[in-house]
Amino acid sequence: MTADTSATPYVAPGAEYAATASEAYQAALRVIESVEPRVAAATRKELADQRDSLKLIASENYASPAVLLTMGTWMSDKYAEGTVGHRFYAACQNVDTVEALAAEHARELFGAPYAYAQPHSGIDANLVAFWAILATRIEAPELAEVGAKNVNDLSEADWEKLRAKLGNQRLLGMSLDTGGHLTHGFRPNISGKMFHQRSYGTDPETGLIDYDVVAAAAREFKPLILVAGYSAYPRRVNFAKMREIADEVGATLMVDMAHFAGLVAGKVFTGDEDPVPHAHVTTTTTHKSLRGPRGGLVLATEEYAPAVDKGCPMVLGGPLSHVMAAKAVALAEARQPEFQGYAQRVADNAKSLAEGFLKRDARLVTGGTDNHIVLLDVTSFGLTGRQAESALLDAGVVTNRNSIPNDPNGAWYSSGIRFGTPALTTRGFGAADFDRVAELVVDVLSNTQPAAGPSGPSKAKYLLAEGTADRVHAASAELLNANPLYPGLTL
């Protein structure tokens, strides 16, 4: 399979860049090796493994050498609790610079009035958002009512009253098995413990969000927060409709765009499908489709900005200054015109992958995709998600098992496999390559069967037909060699 020349990898601007990155990594690994050679060896092995496998996990990508190198600096050595210009430690002027740059790039990239770059992860970003909404909607009015400036001014009785209110609010979010995230009110998660929680799902026939059903649930439940966004829903969302629903019941609309932020940044999602103009608060990770370091962001309207700005120390510990610096670099990359072409290819490649599955009679949740996610129902192969995930990994195809609506196997074993196209698109894969990937996946699953464990039928044990793994590895190698990871980078 030859490389698609229209899909030039965005992370390799030129030979000089690759040569400079090679020198940097070689020197860094020699330094690491002098202290703990096993860490250096594992790091080299990780790059080799990633180069030799088809990475199809929707929440993973490949950051540029510039982003990765930014994290390995002495910016890591600073404590910087507080906000830009208002720190609880001295000598934070350089941290102020990189945090301000990250926020500036985020505001410009997404068209947001305010951006907060400190969250360490997507879950942290959601916690900041939840508490900022509670502080804005509940705490501030309560303090104003008794004439207090902050909670320390409250009497014990007033504090108990406020604490009861803060912990007694309602949240309506997408259910985990229909594509939502565990931070959208899943009971074992802190979000399901903080709030009185209720979930909305998808239409049982189409697998799509029914906005009339969501509106009816909101009218009946009257949540303080309506959460939109997803981690395994292979379709776009009409955020204008979600805002209408939130406004009707007096809810704050919070959108978690962690998975599809790159498609928003790359202008694939615009208008009603761009959450930022419609949401009061928007959260995201900076890796996944945005292709930055592991971390989070919160975007907000001016109303919620003051409370979000108190994320540290309200929810977060000391900001990771080196990661904020890497966020600034990644967001600067995403503001380049080339990123829009990358984002469009991510979506186009997902359609190619879905079509490749469908023409080979595989069953997809919702029957296709119009974002970066393809969700495969593996029950038609007689397998659980865990069996399918393990068999694919044996053949060098890296995926993750995932629940499907009304999953008979639960969240642990599951009945689905979630695929994402951002990482391989970064490598340069095009439409024909993704059709071939679908063919290889179907080959593996068609040649896998359940196996019994020591005590009988097992949802984890499986048998992969002899020769399948070698055959798929060889075919994958052709695709991978034609689309090298970090071309020109040598260790």
The catalytic site residues sit at 79, 81, 256, 285, 288, 294
What is the distance, to the nearest Å, from the Cα of residue 233 to the centroid of all Cα atoms in its chain? 12
Over its C-alpha atoms, the chain yields an Rg (Å, rounded) of 23
26 vs 62, 98, 363, CA distance in Å? 19, 26, 45
Look at the alpha carbons of 340, 67, 258, 357 in this order and tell me if their dihedral is positive or negative: positive
What is d(CA 245, CA 303) in angstroms, rounded to the nearest whole number? Answer: 19
List phi, psi (to 5°) of 450: -65, 150
**Residue 81 half-sphere exposure, CB side, CA atoms within 13 Å?**
9
Assign 3-state DSSP to the chain and report helix, strand, coil percentages, each to 5.
Answer: 50, 15, 35
What is the distance, to the nearest Å, from the Cα of residue 113 to the centroid of all Cα atoms in its chain? 22
482 vs 63, 424, 428, 430, CA distance in Å? 20, 12, 9, 11
What is d(CA 296, CA 458) in angstroms, rounded to the nearest whole number? Answer: 38
CB environment 10-22: b (16+ within 10 A), e (fewer): bbbbeeebbebbb
What is d(CA 464, CA 29) in angstroms, rounded to the nearest whole number? Answer: 38
What is d(CA 458, CA 454) in angstroms, rounded to the nearest whole number? Answer: 9
Cβ-proximal residues to 375 (8 Å cutoff; 6+ apart), any chain: 179, 232, 234, 364, 365, 366, 369, 402, 404, 416, 417, 418, 419
